[in-house]
Copies of this chain bind each other. A is one copy, B any other.
Amino acid sequence: MSGFFVHPNALCETRSVGAGTRIWAFAHILPGAIVGRDCNICDHVFIENEVVLGNRVTVKSGVQLWNGLVVEDDVFIGPNATFSNDPFPRSKQYQQRHPVTTICRSASIGANATILPGLTIGQNAMIGAGSVVTSNVQPNAIVTGNPARVTGYADMTRSKVMSLTAGELAAVEGAPVAATEVAGVTLHRLLRIDDIRGNLSVGEFTRQVPFTPARYFTIFDVPGTRVRGEHALRSCEQFLVSLRGSCAIVVDDGKHRQEILLGGPDYGLHIPPMTWTTLYKFSADAILLVLASTFYDPADYIRDYQSYLAGVAEAEPSAAAPMRA
């Protein structure tokens, strides 16, 4: 119980507090709580018995951490952010056990946000101030609003690739393939023939489309608030074309992340294996055509971002640390 600071007006009943941690006035920590190293527990915070906090966690004023909450290293919790551990509370009616809410490593909870019980807030996610979070939040996702919806991903650049006018088509004539900031992901201009009898968009395999597909699929009727993908494929290449409407594709190679808004059949996006891919912001009329280099194989999917990062690290043993170590 040495090496951490408790303000005289605070009430710290636990002895499990890491070195370098500071606990400020009118904060109250119950005896069973476990607090890591170098944490900052601000005024008027309340922490229940069964709560475990990692290292370097910041808890701003007016926050309560209830039984059932797990807070990993490097988490930031803004002032008056509010948690709950009963999905349908009635006075004096107690649950057998609390649903577990996990705030993963490096995530931040914005000021006065509300987090419903039983959710996982993914690594490095960012919850906007005042949001009301009603479902799980993926790693790196930025969510805002009531209810909270994904509005972006942390640490990424954005590009737009919309349908071209005739003039623009001419202008890009000389550059049919463009690199992105993400390893191996390329943007391919497709042939388009406008005709008063209707229009054609064309891609030839091994030419505009850099592989021969084993299958195609289309994604359609996606509610505007939904996110799809959120996985990487071990060996399958993909080629995406937005036939109608638009959707945003976030590609991530473990080091760089980029959002590309595909808005028309003039461009296709080539995604090599081992690229973490997320699709969202589907317009109501969006139809996305996906050409895939292999048959469907569930074993080819990595659906957990941590496993994905591990896979990338393994594949590139000499590589530097991942994006947000």
Using a CB–CB distance below 8 Å, which chain A residues touch chain B? 9, 11, 25-26, 28, 38, 42-44, 46, 56-58, 60-62, 64, 66, 74-76, 78-80, 82-84, 88-92, 106, 108, 110-112, 114, 116, 126, 128-132, 144-147, 165, 167-168, 196-205, 207, 209, 212-223, 226-228, 243-244, 265, 282, 285, 287, 289, 291, 295-296
Contact = CB atoms under 8 A, between A and B. Distances in A.
Q: Is the interface of A mostly helix, strand, loop or mixed?
A: loop
Contact of A11 (B9, B91, B285): B9
Given A64-B60, A79-B84, A129 B132 contact: yes
B28 A46 contact: no
A57 B207 CA distance: 53
Nearest to A26: B26
- Copies of this chain, count: 6
Contact of A221 (B88, B92, B110, B198): B198
A244 B220 contact: yes
A205 B282 CA distance: 27
A66 B112 CA distance: 14
A167 B166 CA distance: 11
Contacts of A218: 200-201, 243, 265, 289
Contacts of A75: 91
Given A220-B244, A226-B198, A111 B84 contact: yes
Given A61-B46, A80-B80, A106-B90, A198 B220 contact: yes
B204 A220 contact: no
Given A26-B26, A132-B129, A167-B167, A57 B204 contact: no
A64 B64 contact: no
B222 A202 contact: no
Nearest to A28: B25
Contact of A130 (B89, B114, B204): B114
A3 to B, nearest CB: 17
A92 B217 contact: no
